[in-house]
Amino acid sequence: MSERALRGTRLVVTSYETDRGIDLAPRQAVEYACQNGHRFEMPFSVEAEIPPEWECKTCGAQALLVDGDGPEEKKTKPARTHWDMLMERRTRDELEEVLAERLAVLRSGAMNLAVHPRDTRKSA
């Protein structure tokens, strides 16, 4: 009998509390606009730091703050090339010396040498 009394009351799902007598934190509405022309407002606390960009509710693109500064550009390092890394390890004179040695090996006809001429170990 007690099983029938609880059936259909939705005790777990429904809250019977009301919002009367509760003071909400002060809020501000901030407007964003995306590149596809969608405009929407997001509520933020008055004390919150407002992000310069937000995901558009309609299309998912990046929306920028209306009447605000754009996002800060991140400082990026220039890409290091193979040449830059090589120049960190060797000087130009050393590179010219290595080039001259390798050209001498190639011109002598000993192309099957897999070992660098400076290497003191014996090849197998």
User: 82: annotated binding-site residue?
Assistant: no
User: 55: annotated binding-site residue?
Assistant: no
How far apart, in whole angstroms, are the C-alpha atoms of residue 111 and residue 96?
20
Give the pairing of strands 39-45 and 53-55: unpaired
User: 116: annotated binding-site residue?
Assistant: no
Structure tokens given for 28: 């501000």
- Binding-site residues for Zn(2+) sit at 34, 38, 56, 59
Which residues participate in the annotated binding site? 34, 38, 56, 59
